[in-house]
Amino acid sequence: MDQQHKVFVITGAAGTGKTTVANYLRKKYDMAKVITHTTRLPRANEKDGVDYYFETRSSMQKRHLLEQVEYDHHLYGSSIEGLENGWRHHQFDVIVLDTKGALTYRAKLGDQAVIIFLTVSHPQQLFERLHIRGDHPDAIESRINSCEYQRDLSLPQELKGQAIELVNDDWTMTQQKLDQLLSRYI
């Protein structure tokens, strides 16, 4: 892996806008979105090979994963091949991870991983966003009550001073902050 290539790691709690931010960076800055693997079922509109590689617990074991986590009773993992495929044609990759995955990326890739931690001012907004997104009420309840969701509301101590903290209350302002950040890299 050469140092010119970077991976932008978008992390934070469910509903903070990680996928929205990743899609913005992909389109505006021609980043390659790294598709990760999960054993959870697809949501309405999610497609295999586009949003995730949907796996079983046994097929997941055959992947060459850089890291793997359990989140809300499902497995998630990302591969080194995923990163390298993106870098073959793009200077920057973008990936959406939980905070545990973000810590692993920072530990394994150092400055090559640019960590963006998303929050909102009022956690109640997150519940509303998941509802508006059309998530099933049982899925929202499970997510909000999971210890991983609670954990990801705060930036891990080890990432303090290392991650860029971004409050995503207002989408127009968030785009401006992202554009400002990207001007440091392009």
Ligand X SMILES: Nc1nc2c(ncn2[C@@H]2O[C@H](COP(=O)(O)O)[C@@H](O)[C@H]2O)c(=O)[nH]1
Q: Applying CB under 6 A, which residues contact ligand ATP?
A: 14-20, 96, 129, 132-133, 168, 170-171, 174
CB of residue 26 to ligand ATP, shortest distance in Å: 12
Answer for the pair 14, 150: CB distance below 8 angstroms, yes or no.
no
CA angle (78 as vertex; 133, 122 as ends), nearest 5: 35
Q: How far is CA 52 from CA 42, 65, 116, 181, in A?
A: 8, 14, 20, 27
| 78 is a site residue for ligand X (CB under 6 A) | yes
> Out of 8, 9, 77, 120, which residue is the one contacting ligand X (CB under 6 A)?
77
CB of residue 79 to ligand X, shortest distance in Å: 8
Phi/psi at 147 (5° precision)? -70, -25
CB of residue 89 to ligand X, shortest distance in Å: 21
Answer for the pair 100, 69: CB distance below 8 angstroms, yes or no.
yes
The C-alpha atoms of residue 43 and residue 22 are separated, in whole angstroms, by 18
| 76 is a site residue for ligand X (CB under 6 A) | yes
Which one of ligand ATP, ligand X, none interacts with residue 33, CB within 5 to 8 A by kind?
A: none
Q: How far is CA 161 from CA 42, 110, 157, 158, 175, in A?
A: 35, 13, 9, 8, 22
Q: Please, which residue, 25 or 97, has the CB nearer to ligand X?
A: 97
- Mark 113-142 with x for binding to ligand X (rule: CB under 6 A) and - for no binding: ------------------------------
> Out of 40, 63, 90, 177, which residue is the one contacting ligand X (CB under 6 A)?
40
